[in-house]
Amino acid sequence: MSNSDAIQLTADLIRCPSVTPEEGGALVLLEAMLSSGGFSCTRVDRGDVANLFARWGAKGHARSFGFNGHTDVVPVGDAAAWTANPFGAEIRDGIMFGRGATDMKSGVAAFAAAAVDFVQNTPPDGAVILTITGDEEGDAVDGTTALLEYMKTEGEQMSVCLVGEPTCPNELGDMMKIGRRGSMTAWLTFSGVQGHSAYPHRAKNPLPTMARLMDRLASFELDTGTEHFDASTLAVVTMDTGNSATNVIPAECRATVNIRFNDAHSGASLTRWLQKMAEETALESGIDIAMDIKVSGESFITPPGALSDLVAASVTAETGRVPELSTTGGTSDARFVQAHCPVVEFGLVGKTMHKVDENVPVEQINQLKTIYTRILRDYFA
């Protein structure tokens, strides 16, 4: 009987300094572990990004369960502020410290260990697929997207997928994600004419126009929410001139806004709205406004049904908690997976992710592995 140690695997992964886009040995470690567990493994590296595809069972099987996750982590930040080695996986009072402990090396370790034990102990009639990237915390251009493109080319298919991101706000089992808001950022440049502040009539000051447009955008009610989503939000995240002189009207200033949007909108529809608002303000003021927009991901929803019921039932059976079906939070690689197959997210409590002294209670790693094992068992039952 196999009994893969998810706690030890988490520690081993934390000790891999895999700050985006460095692989740091994490995927090498996982490939060796999964290969020894009977999985067929393929590295799907692209650009500077390392990715791993692993499958147990027949290629192209009509019934396959997929897991998705990432081993890359955000930078440590101020190392002197940590009370533990960020890449040491030190355990104190039952808590493991290290960058990636929560987001999400523990999640990857839990589903990898669960998958190996499951296929060795109770070989299913179907396939188990793991897609693990080293580019979730970065630009996410050559990570899960590369894995999904590889799968399409090779005729590989997940019937459903669970992303192991931390999803619980307070207690293990209190929340799972069935969708995510879309995200987009707009960079605006306002161009006028520089001049002396004592003679404003000889200049064309872009600053009032920037302030006016930012206020209009921030004050606009995009919507009041939809069936599964809260209201969309727009945040002004920076307004800059770089002007240190008090007697100079600047020629140029810049502002950036970030929008998190629900399924009442698309990146394209919000782009048109931003352009319309900018054009109207430019016409009123005579200030030129240029804009660059990046849509990081569209909103999506996996409607409550068989997959969410399966995951929720397993969570409740192992924790005694009924998880809330949520679409809150930022973006994740589920935004890419949703175009391939139905996808939900469930993982650990995310209170310390990206923080100094990021940590995870070691007992929760085993709990998570047990939940993932039950999900696999019940899916193939």
Residues 6+ apart with CB under 8 A from 291: 186, 187, 188, 189, 274, 275, 278
In DSSP notation, 197-248 reads TT-GGGSB-SHHHHHHHHHHHHH----S--SS----EEEEEEEE-----SSE
Catalytic residue among 72, 135, 142, 345: 72
pLDDT at res. 139: 87
Query: Would you state the pLDDT for residue 2?
Result: 56
Give the position of tokens 């987001």: 103
CB environment 283-321: b (16+ within 10 A), e (fewer): eebebebebebebbbbbbbbeeeebbebbbebbeebbee
CB contact at 8 A, 182 and 265: yes
- What pLDDT score does 322 carry? 98
User: Where do the H-state alpha helices sit in the chain?
Assistant: 6-14, 26-36, 105-121, 144-154, 207-219, 267-285, 306-319, 334-337, 362-380
pTM here is 0.91
Q: Which of 180, 224, 163, 111 is nearest to 325 (CA)?
A: 180
136 is catalytic: yes
The predicted pLDDT at position 1 comes to 38
Instruction: Note the CATH architecture for domain 6-180+300-380.
Output: 3-Layer(aba) Sandwich (3.40)
Active site residue 72: yes
Residue intervals of the chain classified under CATH 3.40.630.10 are 6-180+300-380
**pLDDT averaged over consecutive 10-residue blocks of the chain (381 residues)?**
84 98 97 98 97 96 96 96 98 98 98 98 97 94 97 97 98 98 97 98 97 98 97 98 96 98 97 98 98 96 97 98 95 95 97 97 98 98 94
Per the rule left: phi > 0, alpha: psi between -120 and 50, beta: everything else, 230 is beta
Q: Which of 136, 298, 345, 358 is catalytic?
A: 136
Pairing type for strands 175-177 and 324-326 reads parallel
User: Which distant-in-sequence residues (6+ apart) come within 8 Å of 338 by Cβ?
Assistant: 300, 302
- Asked if 228 and 301 touch (Cβ cutoff 8 Å), the reply is yes
Q: Are 353 and 103 in contact (CB under 8 A)?
A: yes
Cis peptide before 21 (omega within 30 of 0): yes
What CATH number has the domain spanning 182-297?
A: 3.30.70.360
What is the model's pLDDT at position 3? 73
